Amino acid sequence: MTGNVNADRPAVGSSESGRSMVCVMGAHSGVGVSTVSANLAFCAQRGKLNRETALLDLNLYEGDLHLLLRLEPEHFWRELMRDPLVLDPTLLMSVLMKHKTGLHLLASDYDGLPEVSVPSDKINRLCSLAQSLFPMIVADCGTVLNSTVTTVLTAATTVLLVTTLEVPAMRRTLAMMEALKALGHGRERVVVVLNRSRREDQGLQAEAEGLIGQPIDFLVPNVPEDAHEALETGRLLCADKKSGAVVKVYERLAERVIDTKREALPRPASWHSRWISRLWGDAA
């Protein structure tokens, strides 16, 4: 664990090629948005990708990335929104914390209070500055498409939609995809990530793809014991040598979202979706 980073650095235009901003959304609470965000950022930061990465905890309701990383922030991102001073690179860098892996974290300050609105112009300024300072941004946007998140989405190069095969999550996946489409984020910008995937669920996965009308792009293996240990010890799952299969998925995911010019995958042939459709109807 290290303290806040206060070093200045020159701003680089966010339009420069190779710069990416990935917004991670969850179809339902409990699907693992924070876990996916943190491990994706770690894999972008290290190894052959070697992209200096900022992790923004923009979850207004359940922001807990600092707990996942075992950091104790002195400053939080909504302080930037309340400060009457103009948000600039020096101010932003002063509230970022640097994790031992090299990741920079902008922590959330969720306190349970009902007032969570943030001016859109300040959110836009935050996104613009972050993109000017870091070649890779991963924003944990939680599971609610509130005004703050919809503003952040306008700066996204890719949207990750994290889900699981539980019926409530699948129901919300379909609704979330429709909402994202209405906001201008179509198939070419939305990457579907199935968390806690198991081999025995392949048939169910195919039916889920038929239901949502597009393929599930990435399957994150279910490793409950390793994931629990990583959470309890504040060690990222991808930093554990035992989690080889999980690491490979996150590395491929990082390569995918960094390569913003990559063509969209072709749509598959439609599958029958009797099983999930029946549960969907029963749960309605």
pLDDT of residue 156: 95
Per-residue pLDDT of the chain (284 residues; tens, 9 = 90+): 334 433 333 333 333 456 899 999 999 999 999 999 999 999 999 878 889 999 999 987 788 899 889 999 888 877 777 765 678 899 899 889 999 999 999 998 766 555 556 788 888 999 999 999 999 999 999 999 988 899 999 999 999 999 999 999 999 999 999 999 999 998 889 999 999 999 999 999 999 999 888 899 999 999 988 887 887 777 888 887 777 899 999 999 999 999 644 443 333 333 334 444 444 554 44
Position 1, amino acid: M
Largest CA distance in the chain: 57
pLDDT of residue 14: 35
Tell me how far CA of residue 25 lies from CA of 64, 150, 232, in angstroms. 15, 11, 23
Tell me how far CA of residue 206 lies from CA of 51, 169, 217, in angstroms. 34, 16, 12
Position 208, amino acid: A
Q: Which of 95, 32, 23 is nearest to 68 (CA)?
A: 32
Exposure string over 48-57, b if 16+ CB within 10 A, otherwise e: eeebebbbbb
Q: Helix, strand or coil for residue 29?
A: coil
pLDDT of residue 110: 65
Output the six-digit token pair for 62.
């359940």
pLDDT of residue 115: 56
**Cβ(186)–Cβ(223) below 8 Å:** no
pLDDT digits (tens, 9 = 90+) for 190-201: 999 999 999 999
Helices (H), 97-223: 120-133, 147-153, 167-182, 202-212
Strand partners, 163: 194
Q: Select 20-195+218-269's CATH number: 3.30.70.3270, 3.40.50.2300, 3.40.50.1370, 3.40.50.300.
A: 3.40.50.300
pTM higher than 0.85 for the full model? no
Task: State CA 64 to chain mean position distance.
Answer: 13
- Residue 169 class from Cβ within 10 Å (0-12 exposed, 13-18 middle, 19+ buried)? buried
Position 46, amino acid: R
Alpha-carbon span 21 to 14, nearest angstrom: 10
pLDDT of residue 48: 81
Output the six-digit token pair for 29.
């609470």
Token pair 């650095």 is at which residue?
9
